[in-house]
Amino acid sequence: MNIIQSYNELISKAKDATVFGTAEGIIHWDMETMMPPGAVEQRSLQLALLTRFHHQMSTDPKIGKLLAAIQENPKYETLGQAKKRNIFLINKIYREQTSLPEKLVAELAKQEAITVNVWKKAKAQKKFSLFKPDLQKLLNLSREAAEILMKVKETKTPYEALIDNFEPKMTVDKITVTFDALQRGLKQLISKIQASSNKPDSAILYCSVPAENQRKIAQLLTKTLGYDTASPAAHGRIDETEHPFTTGYYDDVRITTHYYPNNYASSIFSVLHESGHALYEQNLNPRWKYQPIGSTCSYGVHESQSRFYENVIGRSKEFWTSFMPKLKKVSPSLANVELDKFFRAINKVELSKIRVEADEVTYNLHVIIRFEIERDLFADKIAVNELPEVWNQKYADYLGVKVEDDSEGVMQDTHWASGLYGYFPSYALGNIYSGQITATITKDLPDWRNQLALGKLSPVNDWLKRNIHSQGDLYDPEELIKKATGRNLNSEPYLQYLNEKYRSIYGF
Amino acid sequence: MNIIQSYNELISKAKDATVFGTAEGIIHWDMETMMPPGAVEQRSLQLALLTRFHHQMSTDPKIGKLLAAIQENPKYETLGQAKKRNIFLINKIYREQTSLPEKLVAELAKQEAITVNVWKKAKAQKKFSLFKPDLQKLLNLSREAAEILMKVKETKTPYEALIDNFEPKMTVDKITVTFDALQRGLKQLISKIQASSNKPDSAILYCSVPAENQRKIAQLLTKTLGYDTASPAAHGRIDETEHPFTTGYYDDVRITTHYYPNNYASSIFSVLHESGHALYEQNLNPRWKYQPIGSTCSYGVHESQSRFYENVIGRSKEFWTSFMPKLKKVSPSLANVELDKFFRAINKVELSKIRVEADEVTYNLHVIIRFEIERDLFADKIAVNELPEVWNQKYADYLGVKVEDDSEGVMQDTHWASGLYGYFPSYALGNIYSGQITATITKDLPDWRNQLALGKLSPVNDWLKRNIHSQGDLYDPEELIKKATGRNLNSEPYLQYLNEKYRSIYGF
C-alpha cells in the first residue's frame, strides 16, 4: 500500500467511528427527551454496548499499523496540512485510548454511574457525607487514568492531562494567570456595580407567558439566528428537557430548552446559548464532514460560540431593538414591555450561590472557584472531606454569599459526580475567547452593532463561520483563537467589553 | 470449556446482537418520527454502518465454533428445551446469514434503497413503466438470495424460503390450501352481505374531532388495553406518522398513529392494532429477555395479536359498550353518537381497491391476491411486465372492482419495492390465527364477552399473555398455535367468527 492508500484507509476507519458517534448521540438524545421512563435498564445496556464498540473501533490495532506505516513513510512530509492534522488527531485518540487499561475504563464507567446516582440522593437529602465515599472512589480512579494520560499527553500534572481532554494543549499555569487577571478585573467591576444607585429591576421578566407562546418564541429565535428548526429543509429541532443541551453534527443538530410559565426569559437565553452551539456544529466545513478535522475545536471554543450568541448578541440592546417587535407579535401578553427596561432587566448583576442561574458578570467567579478547587484537589492540597469548607469559604470570599447547605454548595453541579474533572475551566475560557472575538469583530466590522439593530445577523454569522466554525479542528484552541483574533489567551478584551456594557447600564 | 460455558458465551453474543438491534430500532424510530428532514444523508450512513456491524455480529466465526462445540458435545442431549431452542435459533440465523455472500447482501441493500425511491416517483406519476426496470433488478437479486436460502432452510422453492423469513416452517402448499378455503368462505359471506338490504351507514365516523382530542382518545385506548403510554412508569409512547407502526422490545415499545381531523375512527383502529403488537412485545417472558427465545414468534403470530385487538376486541359491540362513555367524555363533539349506529358503522363491509383501507372481511382478499402473484412470479408463471394486467384482472375477479391506474393498483404497497417478498401472507395468516384464538378463548372463558362489556379486558389479556405472548419464540408458529388452540392452521374458526358477527349486523 502506498501512503495515500494507507491514509484513505485510516480516514475511512475514522469516518466509521464518527458516524457511529452520531448514532450514539441520537440514542443519548432520545434518552433525555423521548424515552419512556420505564426503559432505563434497556437503555443502559444499549449505551454500555455502544460505548464498548466505539472503544473497540478507536483502539483497533489496524489503526496503529496504518499510523506507523504513514508516519514512517518517507513521503509523510509531502502530505498537506489537513491530512497531517487528521493523522495527528487520529494518533492522539489512538494513543490515549490504547494507553488506558480496559479494566480501568470499565471501572471508571461503573463508578461514574454509581456516583451520579449517589449524588442525586445526597443532594436531595443535603448530606455531603452520603456523597463523599463514592466521590473519593471516583476521584481515585480518575487520578489513576490522569496519571497514565499525563505520560501520553506529556502534560506537567495529572490534572493538566484532564484539562487537555476538553481544551487541548491548555496548561494549568496559563489558566491560573489568566483567571487571576479575570478575577481582579471582575472584582473591580462588581464593586462599581454594587456601588451604583441606578440598579435595573428584573420584575418584568417574571410575568406569565404560556408554554405554547414560548415555543413560538424559541422557534423564531433560532430562525433569526440562522439555525433552522422548523422548515421542510431543517437540519435542527427544539425539544424540552430540565437542563438544556445541544447535540448533533452537521445535518442533524438538536437543541433543548425548558418553558417555565412565569420565567419566559429563561428559555430565551437557553435557546440563544444552545443555538450558538448548534450553529458551530452546522457551519463546520462540509468538505471535511466525518473527518477528524471536520469537528469542533474544543469545549472552550464551543462555549465561546454559545456565550457569544447568548450574551454578546442576546443580551445586547441592538438585538432586542429588532427582535422586540417580533417577540410581541408572537406573545401578546408582552405587548407593554419597554425595550429599555427589558434590556436593563436581562442584564441585572447579582451575587448568587448557583452557577447555572448566575448573570454574565458573576458567572465567571463561580467557574474560577471550581477550577481552583479541582486544581488543588488533584495537587493534594485539598482532601475530599475538606471540600464543603473550602467551597463555602471561597463563596464567601469571592462572591460574598453564605452557603446554607451543601446542596446549594459543593453538590450543586453534576460534573464532579460524573467524572468530568477538568471540564469547568472551559466555561470561563469560552467567555474570554468570546471577548477576544467580539473585539476583533468590532475592528473588522465596525458597523456590526448597527446592522444587528436592523435585524441583520449575517455579517457577524459570516465572520464566525469563516474564522471559527469552518476551521473545524485544524488547530489547537489557542492557535485557532490567535489566528482569528491576533492574540493569545487574554482576558483583557472580555473585561473591556463587560466594563463598557455595564458602565452604560449602571452608570458608573 | 464445558458445554455450559460454551452455551453461556453463545448466549452472551446473542444478547449483544439483540441489544444492538434495539438500539438500531431507536434510530429507525427516530427517522420516522423525530429526525429533522435535512438529516437524511447522515441517517443513511448511520443505518448502513449499524447494519454492517449487526451482520458482523451475527456472522462472527466464534459463533460457528461455539455452535459446533455445543452440538458435538455428548452432553448436548441433556440440555433442556429452552436451551436447545436458543441454540437452534442462533444456528438458524448464523447459517442463513453466513450463506449469503457479503457482496449480494450489499447489492440487495443498495437496490432496495434505489427501488423504494423509484417506486415513490413512479407511484406519484402513476407510471409502472418507470418502476419496472428496478423492480426487475430487485426481484433478480432477491431470487438469487432466495435460491441460496432455499438450500440452507431446506424449503421446496425459493419463494418458500422467503416466506420462512417471516413465517418459519410455513409452506406454500399449506398456505395455498388454507387461503383457497378462506377465499371460498369469504366469497359466500360477501355475497350474503351484498344481498342484504340492512346495510350500515358510516357517515357518523366522518365528523370533526380535533387532533388534541384524538390524542387523548389514543392515550385512553392504550391505557384501557393495558399498554401504558403515559404514566411515570410507562414503557411505551404514542407518536404521529403517516403510516402507523410499532417498534420496540420489552421495556421500551412505541407505537405511532395519525390524526385525521375528519376521520377520527382511523386513529382509533390504528391505535388498537398497534397496541396489539405492543402488548405482545411487552408481555414476553422477562426471564428470557435478550435471549433468542425471548422474542416474538413470527410476523403472522404478531399480526394475529394486532388484528385480535383491532377487530375481535376493537370492532365488537361489547368493547364499545364500556368504552363509548369514556370516548364521549374525552371528545364532547361525539356526545350524540349512538352505540348501535357506531358499531354498525365501524363494521361496514365494502369492496374496495386499497388494502390498507379495507374492512375486516374483504382485507383478506387483498392479501390473497398478493400471495398468489408473488408465488406465481417466483415460479416464473408471471413476468414483471405482466404484473399490472394480472393485478387488475384479479381485482376484477376477486373484489369486483376496476383499477383505474397502477398507483391504486400494483404500486399501492411499498413491500415489493422494499424487497419484502414473502411478507404478505403473514397478514392473512394473522387473521386466521386470530380466529382460532378467538374460538379457543370463547371455549376457555365462556363469559369473556360479558366481561368485555363491563370494561374488563384482563381475562382475555391474561389468556393471550399465558398462551401466546409469554411463549416467546419457543415454538415455530404453527406449533405455537396448535398448543394454544388445539389445531393446526385452519381458516374455519375465523370464517365462523366472521359469519356470526356479520350475520348479526347485516341480518342474513
C-alpha cell at B153: 432452510
Pick from B23, B37, B235: which is nearest to A233 by CB? B37
Contact B30 A35 (CB under 8 A): no
**DSSP string of B308-359?**
IIIIIITTSHHHHHHHHHHHHHH-GGGTT--HHHHHHHTT-----S-GGG--
> Is residue B391 within 8 Å of residue B433, measured between CB atoms?
no
Q: How far apart are CA A308 and CA A493, in angstroms?
A: 13
Pick from B46, B234, B290: which is nearest to A23 by CB? B46
Residues of chain A under the 50 pLDDT cut: none
Q: Does B19 touch chain A (CB under 8 A)?
A: yes
pLDDT digits (tens, 9 = 90+) for B394-419: 999 999 999 999 999 999 999 999 99
Contact A38 B249 (CB under 8 A): no
pLDDT for position B317 = 98
Q: Does B20 touch chain A (CB under 8 A)?
A: yes
Q: How far apart are CA B439 and CA A378, in angstroms?
A: 72
Q: Does A242 touch chain B (CB under 8 A)?
A: no
pLDDT for position A1 = 82
Contact A36 B237 (CB under 8 A): yes
Q: Does A35 touch chain B (CB under 8 A)?
A: yes
Q: How far apart are CA A466 and CA A459, in angstroms?
A: 11
Which residues of chain A are within 8 Å of residue B17 when distances are taken between CB atoms? Answer: none
> Is residue B166 within 8 Å of residue B424, measured between CB atoms?
no
pLDDT digits (tens, 9 = 90+) for A115-143: 999 999 999 999 999 999 999 999 999 99
Q: What is the mean pLDDT of chain B?
A: 97
Residues B428-435: what's their mean pLDDT?
98
Q: Give A12→chain B minimum CA distance, Å.
A: 12
Q: Does B50 touch chain A (CB under 8 A)?
A: yes
Which residues share a beta bridge with B181?
Answer: none
Contact A46 B250 (CB under 8 A): no
DSSP B201: -
pLDDT for position B1 = 81
Pick from A20, A30, A37: which is nearest to B232 by CB? A37
> Is residue B69 within 8 Å of residue B6, measured between CB atoms?
yes
Distance of CA B293 to the CA centre of its chain: 19
Q: Characterise A46 by phi-psi region: left (phi > 0), alpha (psi -120 to 50), beta (else).
A: alpha
Q: How far apart are CA B159 and CA B153, in angstroms?
A: 12
Count other Cβ atoms within 10 Å, centred on residue B472.
24
CA angle (A497, A498, A501) in 5-degree steps: 85
Q: Does B22 touch chain A (CB under 8 A)?
A: yes
pLDDT digits (tens, 9 = 90+) for B371-401: 999 999 999 999 999 999 999 999 999 999 9
Which residues of chain A are within 8 Å of residue B37 when distances are taken between CB atoms? Answer: 232-234
pLDDT for position A330 = 94
Q: Does B354 touch chain A (CB under 8 A)?
A: no
Q: How far apart are CA A468 and CA B140, in angstroms?
A: 51
Contact B252 A50 (CB under 8 A): no
C-alpha cell at A430: 469560552
Q: Characterise A250 by phi-psi region: left (phi > 0), alpha (psi -120 to 50), beta (else).
A: left
Q: How far apart are CA B356 and CA B187, in angstroms?
A: 20
Q: Does A28 touch chain B (CB under 8 A)?
A: no
Which residues of chain B are within 8 Å of residue A228 when distances are taken between CB atoms? Answer: 38
C-alpha cell at B358: 379495507
Which residues of chain A are within 8 Å of residue B20 when distances are taken between CB atoms? Answer: 46, 49
Q: How far apart are CA B386 and CA B382, in angstroms?
A: 6
DSSP A291: S
Q: Does A55 touch chain B (CB under 8 A)?
A: no
Which residues of chain A are within 8 Å of residue B22 when distances are taken between CB atoms? Answer: 42, 46
Which ranges constitute the DSSP H helices of A395-491? Answer: 425-444, 448-453, 458-467, 477-485
Q: Give B109→chain A minimum CA distance, Å.
A: 18
pLDDT digits (tens, 9 = 90+) for B462-508: 999 999 999 999 999 999 999 999 999 999 999 999 999 999 999 99
DSSP A455: T
pLDDT for position B261 = 94
Q: Does B68 touch chain A (CB under 8 A)?
A: no
Half-sphere exposure of B437 (CA within 13 A, CB side): 32
Q: Give B335→chain A minimum CA distance, Å.
A: 28
Sign of CA dihedral B234, B240, B246, B252: negative
- Cell 447535540, residue? A247
Tell me the pairing of strands B252-257 and B236-240.
parallel
User: Quick one: which of A29, A26, A101 has its CA closest to A59?
Assistant: A101
pLDDT digits (tens, 9 = 90+) for B313-348: 999 999 999 999 999 999 999 999 999 999 999 999
Q: Specify the 3-state DSSP secondary structure of A252.
A: strand
Backbone dihedral angles phi then psi of residue A237, each to the nearest 5 degrees: -160, 160
Active site residue A240: no
Q: How far apart are CA B112 and CA A229, in angstroms?
A: 30
Contact A249 B26 (CB under 8 A): no
> Is residue B213 within 8 Å of residue B331, measured between CB atoms?
yes
Q: How far apart are CA A91 and CA A72, in angstroms?
A: 13
CA angle (B375, B380, B382) in 5-degree steps: 75
Q: How far apart are CA B49 and CA B283, in angstroms?
A: 31
Which residues of chain B are within 8 Å of residue A290 when distances are taken between CB atoms? Answer: 45
> Which member of B112, B160, B274, B281 is catalytic?
B274
Q: Specify the 3-state DSSP secondary structure of B246.
A: strand
**SS3 letters across B218-233:** HHHHHHHHCCCCCCCC
Which residues of chain A are within 8 Å of residue B212 when distances are taken between CB atoms? Answer: none
> Is residue B199 within 8 Å of residue B506, measured between CB atoms?
yes
In the sheet that holds A252-257, the strands lie side by side as: A236-240, A252-257, A246-249
